[in-house]
């Protein structure tokens, strides 16, 4: 079968300071009809630049320097722009990484789909409307007639992504380029998008170029995999070979950085340093400065391809040497060449504190936002974002709060810190917080801090790191001013793995992982006892995520910190948390020790969430439980059990009464009529 896409020696770069910096350097691969080829790697490796170069969509500073791109037997890099516009959307289409910024906010969904239908298929008027309705139905959007008239801001994240897919499919492309199509989506929405893409690919025999940094997505969707690092593909294999025996040191480090329950109490493997900038590409092998098995030859000479098996190739001097030396074949794991984690690393702290008095005790916490309408803005209802949450957290332990977007996790975290008005009871070591005035609350602020989801948005870009750290210290009058305070801040930066000179730099000068370390340092500067971490590792590469998780675990061990960890990443929950609470529509539906809840989930919603998590290992793939419909609005929650409209096991009683608290096994609490109370 002839290839749908053939990329040969593609080189692309960006103009900066009077010279062109190479971002994609000699990339070659093919995609056959009906095949999914995944480009995998960390941020900054050149994956998205490769995709944009294929469609000649690089920004003004972008330059295609060399290579050939053959699409359906036609070389497209040499086509005039007018001819290339005909190929985009019909021969090949792209789903961009962030639908919220890719969709036009001032045009309706129908108008945006209609533009593609008119351009590539000549459809106008009623014919275009009917085809747009069919496309929205094909991507799984309920009530498509209503959605056609809506604007992007009226749609959820998952629905925006589906609209992006519908626009991409409007021209009936034979090749679909999907750039991080599930990044930062909930596991249930992610699973729906991946299933949808697989279904459409089968129906239309499309080829797909999937760009991702998520090994679980690759395991679930790809037929072949190319691992990209610093503008080059360093390993290429079919899915079975790739997951069965990854060979490049970089690939092995990515797998080793994945958190799971078996690594609790130990450190995750990390990759020192970061992907080199375009202006500082090392000579020889580009991974050599971060590689644990690099040799002198690696720093001087770029490696050639080594064929390990049919379809499995690696660019690595060390692997090539191991292949040549059969006697050393058994030493082919990077783990053997990497210093082992010290056996003295302490286990997760707090193992014997389950019966201690709680540091934080929350009872019946509610956050209801009023809905006001009319000229007089009368209250006509409430959005019940948090509706009766109760939980406990001991010193030195981690409670994970998980659930889909919109279930109230972040709202609950902010309400605990009095950043949002709430009712109920929030006690910090027995002291009630909600009735306190601002003045009475201020001395307690230093005991409770928050690490926000997006460090770039939460760090003031006009302040240096030193000023950011000192701001809270001054406000809460921690320590003494002068040289002693500066030394304390330098020690604080050292504790999160940053050099003292970082104090004089600005947030934009740091990588995403480094900015998250700064955000953690800011929270720690006032010496808190409780940290509320709101998705601190979402959208981070797996290697940077491992660094942050190692840091949080070390800080908990040394300082006895308690964490309320808000996340939708169950791998992080498995590694870091002691207890887990599952939220749905403002209420906790299941809570208990991590091992029990994740290994033997009781609530149907918990089982559905876990089944939707893509496993980064082929043998761990679970059968997915598909949830029908969408999460109901917290302004109009269903009667009875809030989950019953999406539950396959719903009974009549589920539609009539909210389930009472039951204990199906020791230590586990669940609200479900399948488990009657004792």
- How is 85-147 classified by DSSP, letter by letter? HHHBTTTEEEE-S-HHHHS-TTS-HHHHHHHHHHHHH---HHHHHHHHHHHHHHTT-SSHHHH
Does the structure show a pLDDT above 90 at 497? no
Does the structure show a pLDDT above 80 at 123? yes
436 vs 98: CA distance, rounded Å: 41
**509 is a domain residue:** yes
Domain boundary among 478, 509, 527: 527
Quote the pLDDT of residue 237: 96
Residues 394 and 321 both lie in one domain: no
Query: What would the DSSP string read from start to end of 199-230?
Result: HHHHHHT-EEEEEES-HHHHHHH-SEEEEEET
Residue 23 in contact with residue 49, Cβ under 8 Å?
Answer: yes
DSSP character for 567? Answer: E
Strand 587-593 and strand 669-671: pairing? antiparallel
Quote the pLDDT of residue 673: 96
Domain tally for the chain?
Answer: 4
Residues 264 and 302 both lie in one domain: yes
Task: Please state, for a pLDDT cut of 70, what percent of the chain lies above it.
Answer: 92
**180 is a domain residue:** no
Quote the pLDDT of residue 192: 80
**135 is a domain residue:** yes
pLDDT class of 398 with cuts at 50, 70, 90: very high
Half-sphere exposure of 59 (CA within 13 A, CB side): 7
pLDDT class of 618 with cuts at 50, 70, 90: low
Coil, helix or strand for 315? strand
Strand 36-40 and strand 224-229: pairing? parallel
Residue 211 in contact with residue 644, Cβ under 8 Å?
Answer: no
Q: Would the pTM count as exceeding 0.85?
A: no
Quote the pLDDT of residue 352: 40
pLDDT class of 355 with cuts at 50, 70, 90: low
Residues 558 and 656 both lie in one domain: yes
Domain boundary among 527, 556, 584: 527
Q: Residue 609 belongs to what domain range?
A: 360-447+528-671
DSSP character for 386? Answer: E
Does the structure show a pLDDT above 60 at 502? yes
The answer to which of 13-17, 295-299, 592-596, 614-618 has the lowest mean pLDDT is 614-618
Quote the pLDDT of residue 227: 97
pLDDT class of 620 with cuts at 50, 70, 90: low
Backbone dihedral angles phi then psi of residue 374, each to the nearest 5 degrees: 85, 170
Residue 568 in contact with residue 589, Cβ under 8 Å?
Answer: no
**317 is a domain residue:** yes
Quote the pLDDT of residue 475: 85
DSSP character for 611? Answer: H
Go through 253-289 and write b for each residue having 16 or more CB atoms within 10 A of its CB, e for each that does not: bbbbbbbbeebbebebbbbeebbbebeeeeebbbbbb
Q: How many residues does the chain have?
A: 678
> What residues have CB less than 8 Å from 345, skipping those under 6 apart?
265, 266, 267
480 vs 471: CA distance, rounded Å: 13
414 vs 401: CA distance, rounded Å: 13
Other CB atoms within 10 Å distance of the CB of residue 245: 15
Quote the pLDDT of residue 56: 95
Dihedral class, residue 396 (left if φ above 0, else alpha if ψ from -120 to 50, else beta): left
303 vs 101: CA distance, rounded Å: 39
Residues 441 and 488 both lie in one domain: no
Residues 391 and 538 both lie in one domain: yes
Residue 314 in contact with residue 357, Cβ under 8 Å?
Answer: no
Residues 408 and 550 both lie in one domain: yes
Nearest to 71 by CA among 176, 151, 147, 157: 176
Domain boundary among 305, 337, 369: 337
**68 is a domain residue:** no
**294 is a domain residue:** yes
Does the structure show a pLDDT above 90 at 375? no
Two structure tokens written together for 415: 């309400």
Residue showing tokens 């006001």: 372
Residues 542 and 601 both lie in one domain: yes
The answer to which of 30-39, 207-216, 328-337, 343-352 has the lowest mean pLDDT is 343-352
412 vs 414: CA distance, rounded Å: 6
Residues 413 and 368 both lie in one domain: yes
pLDDT class of 357 with cuts at 50, 70, 90: confident
pLDDT class of 547 with cuts at 50, 70, 90: confident
Mean pLDDT of the chain: 87
Residues 430 and 577 both lie in one domain: yes
Q: Could you tell me the CA-to-CA distances from 400 to 573, 591, 594 in Å, in that order?
A: 6, 10, 9
Residues 456 and 437 both lie in one domain: no
* pLDDT tens by residue, 403-425: 987 788 999 999 999 999 999 99
Does the structure show a pLDDT above 70 at 220? yes
Higher pLDDT pick, 664 / 510: 664
Average pLDDT value for residue range 505-533: 88
Does the structure show a pLDDT above 70 at 184? no
Coil, helix or strand for 153? helix
Q: Could you tell me the CA-to-CA distances from 657 to 80, 580, 604, 651 in Å, in that order?
A: 65, 25, 17, 11
**197 is a domain residue:** no
* pLDDT tens by residue, 226-276: 999 999 999 999 999 999 999 999 999 999 888 865 566 678 888 888 888
259 vs 665: CA distance, rounded Å: 27
12 vs 34: CA distance, rounded Å: 27
Residue 648 in contact with residue 662, Cβ under 8 Å?
Answer: no
Average pLDDT value for residue range 160-167: 88
Residues 541 and 608 both lie in one domain: yes
Quote the pLDDT of residue 328: 42
Strand 74-75 and strand 62-71: pairing? antiparallel
Q: Could you tell me the CA-to-CA distances from 623 to 219, 573, 645 in Å, in that order?
A: 14, 21, 21
Residues 568 and 433 both lie in one domain: yes
Q: What angle do CA 244, 245, 250 make, to 5 degrees?
A: 125
Two structure tokens written together for 116: 């593609």
**281 is a domain residue:** yes
449 vs 419: CA distance, rounded Å: 11
């Amino acid at each position: 079968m002839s290839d749908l896409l053939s990329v040969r020696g593609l080189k692309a770069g960006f103009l900066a300071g009077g010279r062109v910096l190479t971002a994609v350097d000699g990339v070659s691969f093919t995609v056959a009809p009906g095949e999914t080829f995944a480009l995998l790697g960390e941020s900054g490796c050149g994956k998205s630049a490769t995709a944009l170069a294929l469609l000649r969509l690089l920004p003004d500073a972008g330059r295609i320097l060399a290579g050939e791109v053959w699409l359906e037997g036609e070389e497209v890099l040499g086509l005039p722009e007018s001819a290339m516009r005909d190929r985009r959307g019909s021969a090949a289409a792209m789903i961009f990484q962030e639908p919220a910024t890719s969709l036009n906010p001032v045009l309706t969904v129908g108008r945006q789909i209609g533009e593609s239908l008119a351009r590539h298929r000549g459809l106008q008027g009623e014919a275009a409307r009917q085809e747009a309705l069919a496309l929205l139905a094909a991507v799984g959007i309920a009530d498509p007639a209503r959605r056609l008239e809506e604007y992007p801001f009226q749609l959820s994240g998952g629905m925006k992504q589906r609209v992006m897919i519908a626009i991409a499919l409007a021209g009936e492309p034979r090749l679909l380029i999907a750039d991080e199509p599930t990044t930062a989506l909930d596991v249930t929405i992610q699973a729906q998008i991946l299933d949808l893409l697989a279904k459409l690919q089968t129906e239309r025999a499309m080829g797909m170029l999937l760009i991702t940094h998520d090994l679980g997505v690759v395991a679930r969707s790809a037929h072949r995999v190319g691992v990209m690092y610093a503008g080059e593909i360093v390993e290429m294999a079919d899915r079975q070979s790739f997951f069965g025996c990854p060979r490049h040191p970089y690939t092995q480090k990515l797998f080793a950085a994945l958190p799971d329950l078996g690594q609790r109490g130990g450190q995750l493997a990390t990759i020192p340093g970061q992907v080199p900038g375009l202006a500082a590409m090392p000579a020889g092998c580009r991974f050599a400065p971060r590689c644990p098995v690099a040799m002198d030859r690696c720093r001087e000479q770029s490696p050639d391809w080594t064929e390990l098996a049919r379809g499995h190739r690696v660019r690595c001097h060390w692997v090539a040497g191991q292949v040549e030396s059969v006697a050393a074949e058994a030493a082919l794991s990077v783990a053997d060449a990497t210093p082992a984690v010290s056996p003295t690393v302490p286990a997760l702290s707090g193992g014997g504190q389950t019966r201690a008095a709680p540091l934080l005790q929350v009872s019946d916490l509610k956050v209801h936002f009023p809905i006001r309408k009319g000229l007089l803005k009368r209250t006509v209802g409430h959005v019940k974002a948090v509706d009766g949450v109760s939980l406990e957290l001991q010193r030195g332990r981690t409670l994970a709060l998980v659930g889909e977007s919109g279930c109230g996790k972040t709202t609950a975290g902010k309400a605990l810190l009095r950043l949002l008005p709430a009712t109920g009871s929030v006690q910090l070591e027995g002291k009630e917080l909600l009735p306190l005035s601002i003045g009475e609350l201020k001395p307690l602020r230093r005991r409770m801090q928050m690490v926000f989801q997006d460090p770039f948005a939460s760090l003031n870009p006009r302040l240096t790191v030193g000023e950011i750290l000192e701001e809270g210290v001054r406000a809460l009058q921690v320590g003494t001013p002068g040289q002693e305070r500066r030394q304390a801040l330098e020690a604080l930066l050292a504790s999160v793995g940053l050099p003292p000179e970082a104090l004089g730099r600005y947030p934009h000068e740091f990588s995403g992982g480094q900015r998250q370390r700064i955000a953690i340092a800011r929270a720690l500067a006032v010496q808190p006892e409780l940290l509320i971490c709101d998705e601190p590792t979402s959208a981070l590469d797996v290697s940077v995520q491992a660094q942050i998780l190692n840091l949080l675990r070390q800080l908990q061990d040394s300082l006895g910190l308690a964490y309320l960890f808000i996340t939708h990443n169950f791998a992080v929950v498995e590694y870091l948390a002691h207890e887990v609470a599952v939220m749905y529509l403002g209420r906790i539906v299941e809570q208990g020790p991590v091992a029990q809840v994740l290994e033997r989930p009781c609530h149907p919603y918990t089982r559905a969430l876990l089944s939707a998590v893509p496993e980064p290992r082929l043998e761990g793939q679970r059968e997915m439980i598909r949830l029908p419909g969408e999460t109901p609005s917290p302004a109009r929650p269903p009667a009875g059990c809030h989950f019953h409209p999406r539950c396959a096991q719903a009974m009549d009683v589920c539609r009539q009464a909210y389930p009472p608290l039951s204990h199906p096994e020791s230590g586990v609490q669940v609200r479900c009529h399948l488990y009657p109370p004792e």
